[in-house]
Amino acid sequence: MHFRFEIIFDYIPLLLKGAALTIGISALAIVLGSILGLVVSFGKMSTRWYFSWPISGYIHFFRGTPLYVQILIVHFGLVPACIGHTDAIVAAVTALALNSAAYTAEIYRAGIQSIDKGQTEAAQSLGMTSGQTMRFIILPQAVKRMIPAFGNEFIVLIKDSSLVALIAAPELMYWSNVMRGQYLRVWEPYLTAAFIYLILTYSLSKLLGWMEKRGVTG
Amino acid sequence: MSTAPIIEVTNLHKSFGTNIVLRDVSMQVAPGEVVVIIGPSGSGKSTLLRCLNGLEKPENGDIRIEDRSLMQAGVKITEIRSRMGMVFQQFNLFPHLNVLRNITLAPVQVRKQTPIKAEELAMSLLGKVGLLEKAGHYPASLSGGQSQRVAIARALAMEPQIMLFDEPTSALDPEMVGEVLAVMKELAAEGMTMVIVTHEMGFAREVGHRVLFMEQGVIVEEGTPQMLFDDPKQERTRAFLSKVL
Amino acid sequence: MGKRLSVLLAAGILIMTMAACGAKSDNSSGSSSESNKNEKVYKFATDAAYAPMEFMDKDKITGFDVEFLKAVMEEAGLEYELKNTGWDAMLTEVESGKTYDAGISSVSITPEREETYDFSIPYFESTNMIMVKEDSTIASAADLKDKKVAVQGATTAETLMAGIMGNDNSNLKRFDSNAVAMLELDSGGVDAVVADIAIVREYMKNNPERKLKGILDTASFGSEFYGILLPAGSELKAKLDPAVTKLLEDGTYTKIYKEWFGEEPNIDNVLNAK
């Protein structure tokens, strides 16, 4: 296989620009997804059916359908319905955040339930409401334990975000598709993109490992 | 008893699934009284204590704290709890907060005290339990005895009318039991109303005004420590005491 | 340092694995072609998602290219087999030339592509068309400069619009298929779609309720010509080219063209191209 490095150099600025958007979209999606995920996990743990049933449906939908289809639905259905026209970056962040929330909800649930029951009882015995207990006692401890899982979710999102090239959000995969189109060559764009993704996810997992070692988490 | 009871339990019934833990339990505690509950494990004594501040929900009967029923719909349980301190067997300190913040959190958040005032009180309580120098430490660095003394200070910071102790020395190494009991003794001497579930018979005899012996979900016998320990009326009480003394 | 090495190593393993997989599929195809040694069956790849040029009618590949290829191979007296491999697989397979001998998929002949592939002589003239909503004020390619435009990636429409708008212009949106690009126009994500004239006409025919119009701008969008995609140095070119010329000249091509597009092709343009 003859590898044409010169066409990679041609596209490096665009690929890096795309990688920056990949990071941006994924980072925004993980932030929004984890906020939404918290709401979703409370809904799921709620004993009231009118909270827990719709939330259950939400989780089943976003975990049980391909992200590919979710991106199309958000881009061509949800976003136009909300803002009148569609926008690839808005749709990309929305789809990834909605999808991610269905998974981060589970991280919250596991994290919250991993905190000893005695902590809740101690807080309640001091007269704290369940909201105060959650905010001052449970979440601060649970979040620390959840950081590795959130890091993994971020890595998953970075990889999954490649699917938004589908709706022409100009991220890393999009620009490698453009590169492929110009030269009708497959390996140069795709392996270059894969290599950049690898650098992103590898550095992120190293950072997480470092945080864990430094005792920032768990 | 001449004064109105501060705790009044009537015909309390509680079960976990098919396992009946409390059968028709009634008891009263007067203000300033120190009541010690003894009995074998599984006798329901801890459950009774936990019912008193709503950590367990009984199915039947009534609990009145300062003449307010816990069983009534719409009762403000958090308000009643804030007037009742509880000390747990496993301390349950908040590991992510230092000792001072463990103590001041509830006064600031629940009683809406200013942080400065809460800290003043916390420091004086830490002095009382002999742990002033530990204010900035985290729970992980404390011994069991120190942890339990901090837990007592934390409960006292809410300036409660009643203190509940759920086997406060059971998780401690023997050499640390004394320091915790000493704090409790001092508290009793100050006139705090206390309900204590414990296996420390010597302490029960010395500090308790009244001792309740529970077995299989009922209060088998109650009386002054002298009556109960020296001259138990019931065969089951005698059998239990012969085993633990 | 050790860590960096291990990443490189992992990437190396990845590439080798892929190379190994490629080699394996080559072997299996080699043995199957050996079974009918007397007559070589030429394998053609296509991306059958480009109606009316090539598309799937249920589980059968059909379209203008498919019918045309049938006529060419008949004329050349060659056995062949056409498979829907998808776009990327077609490109890699034809480049290596091991499993597939050629590709036919409305591939326009461009200088950049000729750096990697050989092409048959041109067999189809096409141009790009602008598709907009009926009430749009866009009238020419120049009007698109500061508008949002959707194209299918890896098409000449993309190359043309990148030339007009700038390659890194974020208002130029490339989609994986024309179907999604056209949906983007419906959803208000773009102001126009630029695509092959045949594709645009087919879409407008199938979706009259969408109230769309097509704009031709021959000054900006010149003719382009499709060729059969071949590996560099393919011996097949010498067999295909005469057959293509023959069909263009003897009226067979015109007949197939009219069947699919309902109009006469400009044979001279195709014959004189290049």
Within a domain: A108: yes
By the CB < 8 Å criterion, does A84 face chain C? yes
First CA to last CA distance, chain B = 30
Q: What is the predicted pLDDT for the residue at C24?
A: 42
Residues of chain B contacting A123 with CB distance shorter than 8 Å: 94, 106
- Rounded to the nearest angstrom, the minimum Cα separation between A62 and chain B is 34
Within a domain: A162: yes
Q: What is the predicted pLDDT for the residue at C191?
A: 95
C-beta of residue B62 within 8 angstroms of C-beta of residue B9: yes
Within a domain: A218: no
Classify strands B19-29 and B7-16 as parallel, antiparallel or unpaired. antiparallel
Q: Domains (ranges, CATH) in chain C?
A: 39-125+225-272 (3.40.190.10), 128-216 (3.40.190.10)
In a mutagenesis test of the A interface, which of C85, C174, C187 is the best target, namely the one with the most A β-carbons within 10 Å?
C187
By the CB < 8 Å criterion, does A83 face chain C? no
In a mutagenesis test of the B interface, which of A116, A125, A147 is the best target, namely the one with the most B β-carbons within 10 Å?
A125
For the residues A49-63, what does the mean pLDDT come to?
A: 92
pLDDT, one tens digit per residue, over A154-201 is: 999 999 999 998 888 899 999 888 888 777 788 899 999 999 999 999
| Distance (Å, whole) CA A88 – CA C184 | 10
Q: What is the predicted pLDDT for the residue at A6?
A: 86
Residues of chain A contacting B93 with CB distance shorter than 8 Å: 122
C-beta of residue C244 within 8 angstroms of C-beta of residue C121: yes
The alpha helices in chain B, defined as continuous H runs, are 45-52, 77-81, 99-109, 115-128, 144-156, 174-189, 201-207, 225, 235-244
pLDDT-derived band at A100 (thresholds 50, 70, 90) equals very high
The partner residue sitting opposite B88, judged by closest CB among A122, A136, A141, is: A122
| Distance (Å, whole) CA A84 – CA C187 | 8
By the CB < 8 Å criterion, does C84 face chain A? no
pLDDT, one tens digit per residue, over A115-148 is: 999 999 999 999 999 999 999 999 999 988 888 8
- Percent of chain B having pLDDT more than 90? 91
Whether A203 shows a pLDDT value over 90: the answer reads yes
Q: What is the predicted pLDDT for the residue at C17?
A: 55
Contact state of C176 with A166 under an 8 Å Cβ cutoff: yes
| Distance (Å, whole) CA B232 – CA B226 | 9
| Edge-first strand listing for the sheet containing B68-69 | B19-29, B7-16, B60-65, B68-69
| Distance (Å, whole) CA B14 – CA B59 | 5
Token pair listed for A108: 């919250």
What is the DSSP annotation of C138-206? --SGGGGTTS-EEEETTSHHHHHHHHHH-TT-TTEEEESSHHHHHHHHHTTS-SEEEEEHHHHHHHHHH
pLDDT-derived band at B1 (thresholds 50, 70, 90) equals very low
pLDDT tens string for chain C (274 positions)? 455 555 555 555 555 555 555 444 443 333 344 444 457 899 999 998 888 899 988 788 999 999 999 999 999 999 999 999 888 889 888 998 988 999 999 999 989 899 999 999 999 999 999 999 999 999 999 999 999 999 998 888 998 999 999 988 989 999 988 888 998 998 899 999 999 998 899 889 888 898 999 999 989 998 999 999 999 999 999 999 999 999 999 999 999 999 999 889 999 999 988 6
DSSP label at residue A74: I
Element (H, E) at C260: helix C252-261
By the CB < 8 Å criterion, does A76 face chain C? yes
pLDDT, one tens digit per residue, over B122-164 is: 999 999 999 999 999 999 999 999 999 999 999 999 999 999 9
Distances (CA, A) of A88 to A33, A120, C102: 18, 44, 36
Boundaries of domain holding A76: 5-212
Contact state of B109 with A136 under an 8 Å Cβ cutoff: yes
Nearest CA in chain A to B95: A141
Within a domain: A217: no
Number of domains in chain A: 1
Q: What is the predicted pLDDT for the residue at C167?
A: 87
C-beta of residue A124 within 8 angstroms of C-beta of residue A103: no
Within a domain: A100: yes
Q: What is the predicted pLDDT for the residue at A103?
A: 94
Within a domain: A170: yes
| Distance (Å, whole) CA C190 – CA C213 | 15
For the residues B212-229, what does the mean pLDDT come to?
A: 95
CATH of the domain at A125: 1.10.3720.10
Helix, strand, coil proportions of chain A in percent (round to 5)?
85, 0, 15
